[in-house]
Amino acid sequence: MIDIAILRENPELVKENMKKKFQDDKLDIVDQAVELDKAYRNSLTRASELRALRNKLSKEIGQFMREGKKEEAEANKAKVNEMATELKEHEELEAKLEPQLNELMMKIPNFIDETVPLGKDDSQNVEIEKYGDPFVPAYEIPYHADILAKLSGLDKDASGRTSGNGFYYLMGDIARLTSAMISYARDFMIDKGFTYCIPPFMIRSDVVTGVMSFAEMDAMMYKIEGEDLYLIGTSEHSMIGKFKDQIVKEEDLPITMTSYSPCFRKEVGAHGIEERGIYRVHQFEKQEMVVLCKPEEAMEWYNKMWSYTVELFRNLDIPVRTLECCSGDLADLKVKSCDVEAWSPRQQKYFEVGSCSTLGDAQARRLGIRTKGDQGTYYVATLNNTVLSSTRALIAFIENNYNEDGSINIPEVLRPYMGNKDLIK
């Protein structure tokens, strides 16, 4: 949600930003919001005038009665009664227009950073930098589901019987490896000075609409039937929601947190659910990082955050690259975003394992998260970034540490979490 003052002062600037995101079909929303805002403010102003006049006339009634001026008092009473009807009409109009205006404002995308490359979709995202040398071994690397099954680590037939497509059982050393990576990611972020959190795994609808766009919500979130609760798609949702309607102390900024959670996603869209593997599934685990900071510090934290994910994957002996998301690939609340992609020696290409985003004060405006300092009260900036997503990290890990005999190397940083094993056979 953008500052409505910008919409009032320069609606063409808002439209220009929408055009950069190739959302020309939504331009009429700006005009609708401008007109609705005018009507709402006119009603507010008139209602305020009526209340002030009512108070003035009411005081005069008392004065007239004390002075014995009954006719004048009765005339004022008649005026007050007449005004009550008009005031009620405006109050009802305000109650009707305010949610309509808020809904429109939530559909207007956030302003993108000037450094974001222009492009229609993810095919026009721009590679920033590679870290580590991508390699292709002389021997064949099987499909990840086949590697996991051969190590007795994956059972999708059983999960199909219990839960349907998009779920899985991880077992034995593979299940332990997944937990080891999550635990290492947790400790890695704690060592970076982040506070470890385990949040609620369900949140209310007013938190959902505060952290994401309506389109994302429909495509991702599972709703609990009969309750105002949704299963989280990422712990960022709970972690930002933690500060809903709060004024945090400016001296406490930045607030840096790393959170663990299972994640649940419908995965509605063109990609669909992967039949055999675990790349795109309904359920996985994730270690996340979330930052609340002053707006002027947001870009500095953005660059720190994605660099932490790069460092972690390099510690796991996985080559990665960073990819700048173009304007058309940015979700509506995002100011700037980049993906971290891991090298797949089997496919001989990179694939997404994490995403880092700065959202300006968009989420804070929706959720009422503010801070107070020498310059008054203002909205904080929020950022989020994937530290490690269990299933995609597992795919990248086994492919980049796979040996010709079918065993998997365990890098030094994970061995303390794996009973000091250096190999999975």
pLDDT digits (tens, 9 = 90+) for 313-372: 999 999 999 999 999 999 999 999 999 999 999 999 999 999 999 999 999 999 999 999
Q: What percent of the chain has pLDDT over 90?
A: 84
Q: Tell me which residue of 88, 98, 108 sits closest to 37, measured CA to CA.
A: 98
CA 150 vs. chain centroid, Å, equals 37
Q: What average pLDDT does the structure give for the chain? A: 94
The partner residues of 352 in beta bridges, in order of sequence, read 341
Per-residue pLDDT at 206: 93
Q: Are both 202 and 337 inside the same structural domain?
A: yes
Query: pLDDT tens for residues 43-81?
Result: 999 998 888 888 888 888 888 888 888 888 888 888 888
Q: Does residue 116 form part of some domain?
A: no
Q: Are both 46 and 128 inside the same structural domain?
A: no
Q: Are both 208 and 232 inside the same structural domain?
A: yes
Q: Does residue 114 form part of some domain?
A: no
In degrees, rounded to 5, the angle at the alpha carbon of residue 11 between the alpha carbons of residues 6 and 215 is 85
In degrees, rounded to 5, the angle at the alpha carbon of residue 320 between the alpha carbons of residues 317 and 324 is 160
Q: Which two tokens stand for residue 187?
A: 């400790």
Which whole number is the average pLDDT over 384-390? 97
pLDDT surpassing 70 at residue 421: yes
Per-residue pLDDT at 60: 86
Q: Does residue 138 form part of some domain?
A: yes
Q: Tell me which residue of 271, 267, 291, 292 sits closest to 281, measured CA to CA.
A: 267
What is the identity of the amino acid at 402?
Y
Q: Does residue 179 form part of some domain?
A: yes
pLDDT surpassing 60 at residue 270: no
Q: What is the dihedral of CA 117, 121, 124, 126, to 10 degrees?
A: 60
Domain span including residue 239: 122-424
Please say which residue of 63, 81, 107 terminates a domain.
107
Which CATH number do you get for residue 230? 3.30.930.10
Q: Does residue 117 form part of some domain?
A: no
Q: Are both 166 and 298 inside the same structural domain?
A: yes
Q: Tell me which residue of 370, 371, 186 sits closest to 261, measured CA to CA.
A: 186
Q: Tell me which residue of 306, 302, 315 sits closest to 381, measured CA to CA.
A: 302
Please say which residue of 107, 140, 171 terminates a domain.
107
Q: Are both 348 and 394 inside the same structural domain?
A: yes
Query: Total domain count for the chain?
Result: 2
Dist CA 249 CA 91 (whole Å): 35
Q: Does residue 79 form part of some domain?
A: yes
Lowest mean pLDDT among 60-69, 112-121, 265-274: 265-274
Peptide bond into 137 cis (omega under 30): no
Per-residue pLDDT at 66: 83
Q: Are both 387 and 240 inside the same structural domain?
A: yes
Q: Where are the strands (E) in 39-93, listed by range?
A: none
Q: Does residue 224 form part of some domain?
A: yes
Under a CB-based contact definition with an 8 Å cutoff, are residues 111 and 19 in contact? no
Q: Does residue 115 form part of some domain?
A: no
Residue written as token pair 């704690």: 190
Which whole number is the average pLDDT over 149-155? 96
Dist CA 293 CA 279 (whole Å): 33
* pLDDT range class, residue 274, cuts 50, 70, 90: low
Which whole number is the average pLDDT over 369-384? 94
DSSP assignments along 229-295, one per residue: -EE-SSHHHHHHHTTTT-EEEGGGPSEEEEEEEEEE----SSS---SSSSSS-SEEEEEEEEEEE-G
* pLDDT range class, residue 202, cuts 50, 70, 90: very high
Under a CB-based contact definition with an 8 Å cutoff, are residues 313 and 320 in contact? yes
Does residue 8 sit in helix, strand or coil?
helix
Which whole number is the average pLDDT over 219-242? 94
Q: Are both 243 and 342 inside the same structural domain?
A: yes
Per-residue pLDDT at 271: 63
Dist CA 15 CA 28 (whole Å): 9
Please say which residue of 52, 81, 107 terminates a domain.
107
Q: Are both 206 and 157 inside the same structural domain?
A: yes
* pLDDT range class, residue 290, cuts 50, 70, 90: very high
Q: Are both 260 and 374 inside the same structural domain?
A: yes
Dist CA 266 CA 219 (whole Å): 6
Q: Are both 86 and 156 inside the same structural domain?
A: no
Q: Which two tokens stand for residue 261?
A: 């959670």
Element (H, E) at 334: none
Q: Are both 288 and 380 inside the same structural domain?
A: yes
Q: Are both 198 and 340 inside the same structural domain?
A: yes
Per-residue pLDDT at 269: 61
Dist CA 27 CA 21 (whole Å): 11
Per-residue pLDDT at 306: 98
Which CATH number do you get for residue 88? 1.10.287.40
Q: Tell me which residue of 354, 341, 344 sits closest to 389, measured CA to CA.
A: 354
Q: What is the CA radius of gyration of the chain?
A: 27
CA 77 vs. chain centroid, Å, equals 54
